[in-house]
A and B are shown apart, each in its own frame.
Chain A
Amino acid sequence: DVVMTQTPVSLSVAIGQPASISCKSSQSLVGTSGKTYLNWLLQRPGQSPKRLIYLVSKLDSGIPDRFSGSGSETDFTLKISRVEADDLGVYYCLQGTHFPHTFGAGTKLELK
C-alpha cells in the first residue's frame, strides 16, 4: 500500500497567520493517465470530512482561495494564506491513484 506521511501532527496558528502542511507518499502518485490524484480534506469537529483540493492544486467549488495545493510525484503541500477560525480541524491528504487508496494520519490545526 502507498503510505502517506503527513507533517506536522499538529499545528498551532494565530488567526490571520499562514499555515502549511506537508504530505509525502511512499511512491509516485502520477497515474497511467498522467494525472496525480492527490486530495486534501478538512474534518471539522463532529462533522464528515470535506474535500478542499483535488488533482494536487484544484480547489473544489466554494473553497476560498486562501487555500492552495502544490507538489508533484511524492511531495505535496497544503497552504493556508491567512488562517480563519473556520479552518480549525483535522486535515488529511488522500491518494486516489493507486489501490487501495490511502489517507495520511492527519494534521490537527488549532488556534494559538
Chain B
Amino acid sequence: EVKLLESGGGLVQPGGSLRLSCAASGFTFTDFYMSWIRQPPGKAPEWLGVIRNKANGYTTEYNPSVKGRFTISRDNTQNILYLQMNTLRAEDTAIYYCARWVGGPHYWGQGVMVTVSS
C-alpha cells in the first residue's frame, strides 16, 4: 500500500525558514517523480514543483511563484522527500501536500499545515 506522510509543519515568523518532510512507503521510491502541492485555506491547490526519478537524474522544476525560495530534494536511501522553504511570507500559509506524480498527482499525503505569522 502506497503511503505518504508529511511532517515538519507549524507556526513560523515572516522571513523564517522551515523544512517539510514526506516519508514514502509501499513503492519503489526511486522509480517515481514526486511533487509538492499546497492549498491555502478555502482556495484551490497550487503546484509548487517536482523532482524527477532516478531514470531522469532527479532533476527539478519549480513554480515561478516559489522558485529561488523553495527547494525540493529527496533522500533515496531513506525514501524521504523534502521541501526547504526560506524567506517565508504570510501568503505561504497553507496546507502542504506531497504527492507521487504520474502524469498528475496519483497519491497524496494527508498534508501538513504551515502558518506564517508574527
A residues apposed to B, CB below 8 Å: 35, 37, 39, 41, 48-51, 54-55, 60, 92, 94, 96, 99-106
Contacts and interface: CB of A to CB of B under 8 A. Distances in A.
Nearest to B35: A101
A79 to B, nearest CB: 19
B63 A55 contact: no
B44 A39 contact: no
Contacts of A55: 103
Interface stretch (B15-23, B69-77, B106-114): B106-114
A37 B45 CA distance: 17
Contacts, number: 53
Contact of A48 (B64, B102, B109): B109
Contacts of A49: 45, 97, 105, 108
B64 A51 contact: no
Contacts of A35: 103
A101 B101 CA distance: 12
B104 A54 contact: yes
A96 B63 CA distance: 12
Given A39-B103, A48-B110, 10 more contacts: A35-B103, A37-B103, A39-B105, A54-B104, A94-B104, A94-B105, A100-B63, A100-B65, A103-B45, A105-B44
Nearest to A106: B44
9 contacts: A50-B108, A54-B103, A60-B106, A92-B44, A92-B45, A94-B45, A96-B103, A100-B63, A105-B44
Q: Which 9 A-B residue pairs are closest in the complex by CB-CB distance? A: A39-B104, A100-B63, A101-B47, A48-B108, A96-B104, A103-B44, A54-B103, A54-B104, A37-B103
A54 B44 CA distance: 18
B106 A103 contact: no
Contacts of A54: 102-104, 106
Contact of B97 (A48, A101, A104): A48
